[in-house]
Amino acid sequence: MQATERLRAHLWLGDLVALGATAIALAVRLAVDDVLPPGFPYLTFFPAVILTTFFCGVRAGITCATLSGLSAWYFFLPPSEGFLLSRQSGLALAFYVFIVTVDIALIHIMHVASARLRHERIVTAGLYEQQRTLFQELQHRVANNMQFVAALLTLQKRRVGNDPQAALAALDEARVRLETISRIHRRLYDPDRINLPVGQYLQELCADLLDATGARNIVCLVDVPPVRFDLTRLTTLSLLVVEVVTNALKHAFPDGARGTITIRLEAIGAERMALTIADDGRGIPAGFDPAASRSLGMRIAQGLAAQLDGTLTYASGAGTVARLDFAAPAP
């Protein structure tokens, strides 16, 4: 089929094949004219039309059918050696036109069906490979998440050891984070959402967070170009966004104050990207040092930034601005 596709792609080559096939069919018909009984003017031309159409396409088939019809009319339809048209020769020509039209149409339909079948096979193979990759990635991600959960519980254990009264709060925070991981995974591994752009994904993730925390007074805006990340990078980025946004919801808007959280992603050259998460809340205290903070959420966010080969910094503006500089995904 690939060879016939190459032939059909070159129209001039198809015309040459049509001319050659007609010439061969005419030569063979002239050679056997003496041994054939009367009434077979198109005998050798039908195979020429069929083969030309099959290998070179509809245009070449029509060219071959036209040349063959004219050749048979001139040499083999009575009165011979002329383009005179009697009632019998006209009827013969009409049947010839009908037959070659049916042949060409059937071959064309066959080629169209074959092309669709090849396309469906390619799509099926792609879906299979996608599912296989997803399964492997899921196994890898589950193992990584088990390590993340173990590290999270270890941090909570240290916190409880330093302040036994905080045990219930620590367990509640761990529960919330595990539920967040669960929601992220349901989104990431949904086959209907596998090709979702990062911007739309983060918008829906933020909507989930606002709904889960009951923060109806907060608006989350996402300004992200139409890029896509691999699952590992997107999972890590999602967890970091959750930590930073959750921290803003807890501390930036006291007493139910209204506010806005804005998430932006932009390229910094060809190899780096910057994700900024800004709120218009009360901002961070003067002299605040994230590296020295005992906040579990900030320590988790710093660890996630390191997984992305990035750095997470905080600054005061109209509120608090968290900026993640990280390595851009490979093109």
- Which residue from 143, 131, 140, 141 is spatially nearest to 190, judged by alpha carbons? 131
pLDDT of 276 > 90? The answer is: yes
What tens digit of pLDDT does each residue of 91-136 get? 888 899 999 999 999 999 998 898 899 889 988 888 888 777 667 6
pLDDT of 25 > 70? The answer is: yes
Question: Span 287-296, mean pLDDT?
Answer: 69
pLDDT grade for 139, boundaries at 50, 70 and 90: low
DSSP string, 214-247: T-TTEEEEEE--S----HHHHHHHHHHHHHHHHH
Question: What domains can you pick out in the chain, each with its CATH number?
Answer: 2-123 (no CATH), 197-331 (3.30.565.10)
264: left (phi over 0), alpha (psi -120 to 50) or beta: beta
d(CA 177, CA 200): 22
d(CA 5, CA 16): 16
Q: How far is CA 224 from CA 46, 256, 321, in A?
A: 62, 28, 16
pLDDT grade for 269, boundaries at 50, 70 and 90: confident
Q: pLDDT value at position 35?
A: 81
Arithmetic mean of pLDDT over the chain: 81
What tens digit of pLDDT does each residue of 146-192 get? 666 676 677 667 666 666 666 677 677 677 667 776 777 676 666 66
Three-state secondary structure call for residue 66: helix
d(CA 140, CA 73): 73
Global pTM value: 0.53
Amino acid at 300: I
Quote the tokens at residue 160. Answer: 């409880």
- Which residue from 142, 147, 166 is spatially nearest to 156, judged by alpha carbons? 166
Q: pLDDT value at position 155?
A: 66
pLDDT grade for 20, boundaries at 50, 70 and 90: very high
pLDDT grade for 217, boundaries at 50, 70 and 90: confident
